[in-house]
Amino acid sequence: MINQQRSAILFALLALFLLQGCEPIPFTSELEQIRQRGKLRVGTLYSQQIFYYDQHEQPTGMEYELLEGFADYLGVELQMVPLYNQTELYRGLHSQQVDLLGAALSPTKALRENFRFSPEIYQVDATVVYKKNTRRPRDISQVDSPLWITSGSYHQPLLKSYQKQNPELTIEATDRLDSSELLKSIVDEEIRFALVDNTTLALHQRFYPDLAEAFTLQKATPVVWMVKRLRDDSLYSALIEYIGERHSNGDISRLYERYFGHIQKFDYVDTRAFLRATETRLPKYTEWFQQYSGTLDWRLIAAVSYQESHWRPHAKSFTGVRGMMMLTLPTAKSVGVTNRLDPEQSIKGGAEYLQKLINRVPDSVRADDKIWFALVSYNIGFGHMLDARRITRIQGGDPDAWIDVKENLPLLMRKKWYQQTRYGYARGQEAYNYVNNIRQYYQSLLWLDAQKKESDRRQQLMENRAPYPVENPSEDGEKQNNEEATPKK
């Protein structure tokens, strides 16, 4: 009997031990893992359209700002992980090197097998680009040289159907050149055609005005973020909620306007003239722009000056404004300018006046938008800027949001509307164009300055190289691959 009891106890202990060994391992969701880590790792690409560093070496870009907000939404830090190309992005997400991809990507059927897509953030058009003053193809059948694209982009499957209908079409997919480098290759006449997004083209036309759109191959392609298809939906669900909220409160629309709202129209002649002036006129006054810009970026002050006078010290208009910053006589006196035709005085006074206008803009206006409201005031007067805000409120828009107010500026020229204002008629359409032009010039100056810094950096690297480098025979394969990265004519 005692032996039977002992056997029963041993059996029960053995059963309990086996049951304990079969307990499932506690499940930790993907979102909880990110929160435990304290960082959201985002795979991205360096680009003005996505993520780059501004003049103060601070990270910026439309998708960067939106991603920063998502990290705050999750209660973690944002860690941007720049990768070389789209193929590397997909590989990084698949291997869980990163948690999310944010790099102006668009969905494809092939990607859907491994990844999930966020709701649409904004839309782009697939545009065939060529160099101005060369033969322009009107449709895909007239593309008689290789059409270059970046590997892994949605352009690749898009072109497959066109290639079936046009078997003579040659497609060159490269993972060594990004869209910016492909466009530069067109300018340098190393290639003739490339397929890129319209926003990418619009940004680069300010630096390379000889780039031109041949035709649009596909319109309204969504730009999305991507996450891996995992066993839980925690991160994916948070992503859907976050982007939905940012669309609902207008944040995404405001971000899009800030980064792309000024690039919708391109003036070839004006852009060429501006780029020439940056070489021939701007260097004479750069030091003064830098000296008197105060808390503002000197390139912004220079952009205002170009819009006002094309950097001509003795410029004057029929309305009586004069000088580099085209100051009225009362304005000049208010900022201590005794000679409006003196370029140094004009730059100093104009910068001071613009800062005063920024300070007068109501604090209800977002800090990023204040400069645009101030520039409207600089152009047509502070009172007319307030009138534009009043009209925006009447129209049901947000008087504190530049994206809404700028669309109502032209109404200051229509009797139906200016009769309802305090200060009456104003050249609102001119003010709209005025601000857009300044934004374009400013972005071009930022890019030119970045290019100069990069050139100086490369020159420094060249100077620091060993005088008699010894080539390693084992690197021949790598050397050959690097040479293949440059497209042939």
Give the chain's domains with CATH numbers. Answer: 269-437 (1.10.530.10)
- What is the reported pLDDT for 147? 97
Question: Which of 43-52, 185-194, 259-268 is predicted least confidently?
Answer: 259-268
Token pair, residue 150, equals 């970046």
- What is the reported pLDDT for 483? 40
CA dist 234 to 28, 243, 305, 398, Å? 10, 15, 51, 34
Give the DSSP H or E segment for 459. helix 428-463
- Dist. CA 182–CA 175, nearest whole Å: 11
Residue with tokens 């202990």: 13
Using pLDDT thresholds of 50, 70 and 90, give the confidence band for residue 315: very high
268 or 8, which is more confident: 268
pLDDT in tens, 161-209: 899 899 999 999 999 999 999 999 999 999 999 999 999 999 899 889 9
pLDDT in tens, 33-42: 999 999 999 9
- Dist. CA 42–CA 77, nearest whole Å: 11
Burial 81-90 (b: 16+ CB within 10 A, else e): ebbebbebbb
- What is the reported pLDDT for 11? 60
- What is the reported pLDDT for 230? 77
The phi, psi pair for 269, rounded to 5°, reads -65, -45
Cβ pair 345, 292 in contact under 8 A = no
- Dist. CA 301–CA 297, nearest whole Å: 7
Cβ pair 136, 130 in contact under 8 A = yes
- The whole-number average pLDDT for the span 246-271 is 88
Average pLDDT score, the chain: 88
Q: Kindly give, in sequence order, each residue whose CB lies less than 8 Å from that of residue 130, ignoring residues fewer than 6 positions away.
A: 136, 137, 186, 192, 193, 212, 214
- What is the reported pLDDT for 469? 44
Is residue 305 scored above 80 in pLDDT?
yes
- What is the reported pLDDT for 319? 80
Q: How many CB atoms lie under 10 A from the CB of residue 110?
A: 13
Residue with tokens 């950097």: 311
- Is the torsion defined by CA of 371, 377, 382, 385 positive or negative? negative
Vertex 158 angle, CA 156 and 159, to 5°: 70
Is residue 1 scored above 90 in pLDDT?
no
- Dist. CA 172–CA 244, nearest whole Å: 37
- The whole-number average pLDDT for the span 256-266 is 83
Cβ pair 67, 78 in contact under 8 A = yes
- What is the reported pLDDT for 98? 96
Is residue 263 scored above 90 in pLDDT?
no
- The whole-number average pLDDT for the span 250-268 is 86
Instruction: Report which of 146, 128, 155 is spatially closest to residue 191, judged by C-alpha positions.
Output: 146
Question: Which of 62-76, 203-217, 262-276, 361-375 is predicted least confidently?
Answer: 262-276
Is residue 407 scored above 50 in pLDDT?
yes
Is residue 395 scored above 90 in pLDDT?
yes
Instruction: Report which of 97, 98, 85 is spatially closest to residue 50, judged by C-alpha positions.
Output: 85
Is residue 476 scored above 80 in pLDDT?
no
Cβ pair 334, 325 in contact under 8 A = no
Is residue 458 scored above 70 in pLDDT?
no
Is residue 96 scored above 50 in pLDDT?
yes
The alpha helices in 233-281, defined as continuous H runs, are 234-248, 251-260, 268-280
Active-site residue, selected from the candidate residues 308, 344, 463, 471 = 308
- The whole-number average pLDDT for the span 200-220 is 94
- Dist. CA 447–CA 438, nearest whole Å: 14
**Residue 308 known to be catalytic:** yes
- The whole-number average pLDDT for the span 100-111 is 94
Point out which residues pair with 80 in neighbouring strands: 42
Vertex 197 angle, CA 195 and 202, to 5°: 110
Is residue 466 scored above 70 in pLDDT?
no
Vertex 223 angle, CA 184 and 242, to 5°: 135
CA dist 455 to 188, 388, 450, 460, Å? 17, 44, 9, 9
Burial of 45 (0-12, 13-18, 19+ CB in 10 A): buried
Is residue 5 scored above 70 in pLDDT?
no
Residue with tokens 């060429």: 272
- Is the torsion defined by CA of 344, 347, 348, 349 positive or negative? positive
- The whole-number average pLDDT for the span 418-447 is 93
Using pLDDT thresholds of 50, 70 and 90, give the confidence band for residue 482: very low
Within 13 Å and on the Cβ side, how many CA atoms surround 206? 23
Cβ pair 347, 324 in contact under 8 A = yes
- Dist. CA 339–CA 346, nearest whole Å: 8
Q: What pTM was computed for the model?
A: 0.79
- Dist. CA 418–CA 118, nearest whole Å: 44
- What is the reported pLDDT for 465? 55
CA dist 370 to 87, 349, 408, Å? 40, 19, 17
- The whole-number average pLDDT for the span 324-353 is 96
- Is the torsion defined by CA of 394, 400, 406, 410 positive or negative? positive
